[in-house]
Amino acid sequence: MRGHRIAVVAGAFVLLASLAPAAQASETFASETASGAGGVRFATYNTSLNRAEQGQLAAELATPDNAQASMIAEVLQRTRPDVVLLNEFDYDQSGAALDGFRDNYLARGQHDAAPIEYPYHYTAPVNTGVPSGHDLNNDGVIGGPDDAFGFGEFPGQYGMVVLSKYPIDTDAVRTFQQFRWQDMPGALLPDNPDTPEPADWYSPDALADLRLSSKSHWDVPIKLGKRTVHLLAAHPTPPSFDGPEDRNGKRNHDEIRFWADYVHPARGGYIYDDVGNRGGLPPGARFVIAGDLNADPLDGDSVDAAANQVLRAHRVIDPRPRSAGGPEASELQGGANETHRGDPGLDTADFSDEEPGNLRVDYVLPSLPLLPKRAGVFWPRAEDELARLTEASDHRLVWTDLLVT
């Protein structure tokens, strides 16, 4: 145990030392003394803080005793993002779960890591668990998690939260929770293979209600001094858990396409938000696409390399965040990983090694003229004492330091 303790200190020291310049830089930027001299760390992290029942997460986070939440908080304290999107954090209208996470976990140093404070946050309702009133999975029965607007046992399961050290222009947030899938031109509406009619998996009545976003799509403007950066947050459905009609694969593709259209000066005209304002992002606006997109550009179950829609979207830069732990895990775990075409250094999720294997599915993609300085995936090698933190979630935190010019 003594040796283990030494390893704790050494691992923490190496990591903190490597992160110190970025932390200083963001302080510099915060004081607005040298715009462009530093960097702002944007991150995304699928925290797997989803629970089986409504209220359960809030109850667990009401005390500082939850081991998983401690690890998630420690990952944030070690990597110290300035702006971070959390996926799979159950939403509740009271905000009790988020309050508990901030007060009982982030505000307390975990394993000697420094506490971290986020004065600003944004969260909102999502489509998971919201009854659609339609038989979306065509099993002859209406109800249950598969017939909700997004897969979920209760409204808010697998929700999202944005935490920020910088002010959020809350009045200018746009949400696209209710945008209907069929209102996307050329939508990949799934087909029932047992009927001759095309694209008829969903009934016309269902399509009249069916929302594109399985959770929600949010445009959250972050105020960085005189600049505004639009954090584009989403969590498209996994392209699996369906049949030959591939309804989830097609939805995943179009949920990702939504952002590619939104940031394109000529393709966002069809988009409307939840208060009825039309159009995409103003041309030239700075943005960062963030989230677990449930799509790897080369491996896994995606439709038509769905991830490439954002990787190659208008003005997007791919900083290709890497880890040392990803290649090691791929090698050690084998299975599907052995036949992957993608570079395991870019992997962000440790999925089942039978199928689909470990994948790159979590993204932080900035736009020109933002300048990525450094990027990484928090996936320590097995020998690193901090490797214990990978037990908290099947996903890894992904970060990018940006010069906001």
Q: Residue 328, Cβ neighbours under 10 Å: how many?
A: 18
Judged by beta carbon, residue 171 or residue 354, the one nearer Ca ion is: 354
- What token pair was written down for 196? 């001759």
Judged by beta carbon, residue 123 or residue 137, the one nearer Ca ion is: 137
Which positions ≥6 away from 360 have C-beta within 8 Å?
296, 297, 307, 342, 346, 347, 348, 349
The structure tokens 């990978």 sit at 390
To Ca ion, the closest distance from the beta carbon of 284 in angstroms equals: 41
Judged by beta carbon, residue 28 or residue 333, the one nearer Ca ion is: 333
To Ca ion, the closest distance from the beta carbon of 319 in angstroms equals: 24
Residue closest to Ca ion (Cβ): 195
To Ca ion, the closest distance from the beta carbon of 393 in angstroms equals: 13
To Ca ion, the closest distance from the beta carbon of 147 in angstroms equals: 4
Judged by beta carbon, residue 4 or residue 341, the one nearer Ca ion is: 341
Q: What are the helix (H) ranges across 156-216?
A: 204-209
Judged by beta carbon, residue 113 or residue 392, the one nearer Ca ion is: 392
Q: What are the helix (H) ranges across 42-149?
A: 56-61, 67-79, 96-101
To Ca ion, the closest distance from the beta carbon of 131 in angstroms equals: 11
Judged by beta carbon, residue 286 or residue 340, the one nearer Ca ion is: 340
Residues that bind Ca ion (CB under 5 A): 135, 137, 139, 141, 147, 191-192, 195, 197, 200, 333, 350, 353, 358
Q: What is the DSSP string of 239-300?
A: S-SS-TT-HHHHHHHHHHHHHHHHTSTTT-TT-B-TTS-B--PPTT-EEEEEEE-S--SSSS
| CB 49, CB 67: distance < 8 Å | no
Could you say which DSSP state residue 114 is in? P
Q: What is the dihedral of CA 324, 329, 335, 336, to 10 degrees?
A: -50
To Ca ion, the closest distance from the beta carbon of 354 in angstroms equals: 9
The structure tokens 């000529």 sit at 266
